[in-house]
Structure 1
């Protein structure tokens, strides 16, 4: 088996089985940032493996096309260790078709990803600007109050960015609860969570048939919410944050590009805050996630060394 075949097999297995494994080991969000790293490592690993396999196949095809040996074409990428005789015109046709198909598919997927990413960025920036125009500025940096009958708080990235708090939320939240909710939103903005999710959503739109990419945005979004919870709870305490989340659960739907304190997996996050994991459980989770990340990186490298010829 050649390097290309090993990379394709790795990418296929991680693409289809990876979501099941990653969901199982990250769903509790014990170490949310490490969980995000596990998902991103798998996603980047699959994309790099697919791209590397295509490049290797294209180079093999180009080598066959330019080879001075008439009537042969190496098919080692299919596991065949010898050579299959064929007329040079047939070999040239196969080589050109392989190269053209690979380039065309890469171009189509790449353009689709870039188009989706541009749309998401534009939508987010427009919403942030609209919030600044319509909302009332506050004493908090980048926070604007918008008149609405339902309590809501969320943030959107942009140039400049904005945290939107409805008038109903401002009236219903105590000072410490509001401070915890705003800290949660600031954690999203300073952590550049929006940009990360935009990239994942664009990749999922570009390659929707891959289960790993399809599951990635929701799973990572959930973990990023938990990470923002942890940062807010460390600064303001778990109780104010829990009360603030409870007050915002019934708010209206926020824009797809927004991230909010009560936007995703609220019950799981509330249970997690109310009963945090013990130190022993956190360490076991770190070992599990670290092992998964290590294997995700090591397997394709080992495949390249083992199958190198």
Structure 2
């Protein structure tokens, strides 16, 4: 029972401490890709800790589960986990964690379903705004230009992904600014940022009272944009990307007083203009390795009795 409690407490501790450490880190905006990985490792550690805690709690509470999980294990290993010391909280903890896991899966399924519905709706709207001519085959091109007075560019994911741009955006963007915007959207597509947003949204919607999942969703939405900005700026320069963002959004009141849904755009532009240097390759490697080791901790806790017995 002590292993399941230790894993449960490890998950809670990680959920409380890790987001605060990442919020205080001075390298997050300089290295958004590393920060994205660190957040994924943090959430993976929390979920893995709870999943392992559920497994050991269920093994302690029910002989049928214990027989399945520890069927190939030697008797000494089973004794090391002290599974026969059944406590009143084993079954309760196992049921609660199992319900949380099922709820997480349901929320992810719902989010994926909603995303597909949104993509179908946008494809239908695309056909309305740019209908096929008589005898024309369904579009397979990756770039679609729409007539529109609002400057806008977006990537439409799916089996036949397309990059959609309005004529107003073509008129506003000058020179290499258009190429920079296209590189930004392609950066989202290559990194599959849509799946990060789906997972973070599902967890935050399923557990609205858990701060780590709320912060995970907010940081994913912010960091994927910074990462895509960096992809474009490495090819076309920070100034070009910053000017393109201003041209696309200056008529939406983003850069004036008051709160808007795109309130992070001024911060993105300032970040591009200040041109803070990246971390060294060695430090990026160390941060990535440190984040990758965090999910290993619950595995070591889970196998601690085995290692102690066999050692």
Q: Normalized against structure 1, the TM-score is what?
A: 0.76
Where does the alignment leave 5 or more consecutive residues of structure 2 unmatched?
Answer: 68-81, 133-139, 254-260
1:54-83 CA-to-partner distances (Å, cap 9, x unmatched) read: 11101110139999xxxxxxxxxxxxx898
Q: Distance in 1 between matches of 2:26 and 2:152?
A: 28
User: How is 1:146-157 mapped onto 2 (pairs within 5 angstroms)?
Assistant: 146-157=146-157
1:106 aligned to 81, 101, 104, which one?
101
Cα pair 2:157 2:189 within 8 Å, conserved:
yes
| Match of residue 271 from structure 1 | 270
| Match of residue 297 from structure 1 | 295
| Match of residue 2 from structure 1 | 2
Deviation at 1:40, TM superposition (A): 0.4
Q: Distance in 1 between matches of 2:170 and 2:38?
A: 37
| Match of residue 163 from structure 1 | 163
* Structure 2 residue matching 1:150: 3-state secondary structure: coil
User: How is 1:197-236 mapped onto 2 (pairs within 5 angstroms)?
Assistant: 197-236=197-236
Q: Distance in 2 between matches of 1:248 and 1:276?
A: 21
Q: Distance in 2 between matches of 1:286 and 1:17?
A: 21
Cα pair 1:151 1:168 within 8 Å, conserved:
yes
Q: Distance in 1 between matches of 2:65 and 2:230?
A: 57
Cα pair 1:242 1:273 within 8 Å, conserved:
yes
User: How is 1:71-220 mapped onto 2 (pairs within 5 angstroms)?
Assistant: 101-131=96-126, 133-135=128-130, 141-220=141-220
Deviation at 1:44, TM superposition (A): 1.3
- The Cα RMSD (Å) is 3.5
- Residue 23 to residue 127, structure 1, CA distance change in 2 (3 Å): farther
Q: Distance in 1 between matches of 2:128 and 2:106?
A: 33
Where does the alignment leave 5 or more consecutive residues of structure 1 unmatched?
Answer: 68-80, 254-261
1:130-172 CA-to-partner distances (Å, cap 9, x unmatched) read: 33552489xx952323333332222231232232322221111
Deviation at 1:285, TM superposition (A): 5.4
Q: Distance in 1 between matches of 2:102 and 2:225?
A: 34
1:201-232 CA-to-partner distances (Å, cap 9, x unmatched) read: 11222222221111112212222112211221
Q: Distance in 2 between matches of 1:283 and 1:30?
A: 12
- Residue 103 to residue 121, structure 1, CA distance change in 2 (3 Å): same
Q: Distance in 2 between matches of 1:166 and 1:63?
A: 63
- The count of corresponding residues between Structure 1 and Structure 2 is 280
Q: Distance in 2 between matches of 1:170 and 1:264?
A: 24
| Match of residue 77 from structure 1 | none
Residue 13 of structure 1 pairs with residue 13 of structure 2: yes
Deviation at 1:282, TM superposition (A): 4.0
- Residue 109 to residue 191, structure 1, CA distance change in 2 (3 Å): closer
Deviates more, 1:229-238 or 1:37-46: 229-238
Deviation at 1:35, TM superposition (A): 0.9
Cα pair 1:136 1:144 within 8 Å, conserved:
no
